[in-house]
Amino acid sequence: MPVVDQLAKEYGDQVTFVAPAWKASFERTLAKAVELMPSGIVEWGLDRDEAVFALYGVTYQPAGVLIVDGVIIEQWPGGLGADELRERVEYLATFST
């Protein structure tokens, strides 16, 4: 998540970064958000009923999903390194107008 936080600082004016969590308490989710995303740019929350995960067909965590206007452009399991994630975010930024 520190990589996501860094990219949010760089691309936050073009791309919205969202980090929902599940299967945890709100307090634990808050503590991790503060620890791993200190910029405060990444939108995060606890998806208690797993609605966000179900909406996009994510059955595991961590996972990455690129979405434009509600349509999944790309999805992958696990985390990515900084360079690979940057490439995908730059690709996603090409969809913004």
- 97 part of a folded domain: no
| DSSP state for residue 60 in the 8-state scheme | S
Alpha helix locations (H) across 13-81? 26-36, 51-55
Is 80 domain-assigned?
Answer: yes
How many domains, the chain?
Answer: 1
pLDDT for 94: 82
pLDDT by residue, tens only, the chain of 97 residues: 789 999 999 998 888 899 999 888 999 999 999 999 999 999 999 999 999 999 988 888 889 999 888 888 899 998 899 999 999 988 887 876 5
Give residue 64's domain range: 2-92
pTM over 0.85: no
CATH of the domain at 65: 3.40.30.10
Q: Is residue 28 assigned to a domain?
A: yes
> How many whole angstroms separate alpha carbon 74 and alpha carbon 21?
19
Q: What is the pLDDT of residue 96?
A: 64
Q: Which of 74, 54, 91 is nearest to 20 (CA)?
A: 54
* 46 within domain boundaries: yes
* Phi-psi sector, 17: left (phi>0), alpha (psi -120 to 50), beta: beta
